């Protein structure tokens, strides 16, 4: 399977703990996006990378959140001092840079985080 993969698929943690998620994009894609989806809502943009550079961050990304893409391949999203409000599905997507509108983003299956 050469799609976007995410690990773990599920994570249960206690409030105050740190968690880290990993995303492996489609291999030739140079753009990588993180989104958060809460129950009954559409995904909300968090941040995106072009190669290893983080080019945009949403105001949803508080200082407890940090994302990296050290070699322009896989990415990690870390949440420090988790809160119950962080419980959500975290989605990763990747795309190939094109100078055209409407480039498709390919989504992974997501990591479901539950903070107890």
Q: Which residues of this chain interact with other proteins, rule CB under 8 A?
A: 3-4, 31, 33, 35, 40-45, 48, 50, 55-56, 58, 91, 93, 97-110
Instruction: Region of 93 please: left (phi>0), alpha (psi -120 to 50) or beta.
Output: beta
How far is 3 from 78, CA to CA, in rounded Å? 22
Among residues 16 and 103, whose Cβ is nearest to other proteins? Answer: 103
- HSE of 101, CA atoms in CB hemisphere, 13 A: 0
Which residue number, 69 or 82, has a Cβ lying nearer to other proteins? 69
* Least distance CB 55 / other proteins (angstroms): 8
Task: Give Dmax over CA atoms of the chain in angstroms.
Answer: 44
Task: Pick the closer one to other proteins by CB: 25 or 43.
Answer: 43
Compare residues 12 and 55 and give the one whose CB is closer to other proteins: 55
Could you tell me the smallest distance in angstroms from the CB atom of residue 71 to other proteins? 20
- Tokens describing residue 61: 């990304």
Report the nearest approach of other proteins to the CB of residue 15 (Å): 27
Whose CA is closest to 95, among 2, 4, 22, 1? 4
State in angstroms the smallest separation of the CB of 28 from other proteins.
16
Report the alpha-carbon distance of residue 90 to residue 9 in Å, rounded: 10
């Amino acid at each position: 399977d050469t799609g976007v993969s995410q690990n773990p698929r599920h994570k249960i943690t206690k409030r105050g703990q740190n968690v880290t998620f990993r995303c492996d994009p489609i291999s030739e894609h140079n753009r990588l996006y993180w989104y958060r989806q809460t129950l009954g809502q559409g995904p909300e943009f968090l941040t995106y990378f072009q190669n290893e550079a983080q080019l945009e961050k949403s105001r949803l990304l508080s200082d407890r959140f940090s994302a990296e893409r050290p070699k322009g391949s896989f990415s990690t999203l870390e949440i420090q001092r988790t809160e119950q409000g962080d419980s959500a599905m975290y989605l990763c997507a990747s795309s190939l840079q094109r100078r055209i509108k409407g480039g498709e983003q390919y989504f992974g299956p997501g990591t479901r985080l539950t903070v107890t």
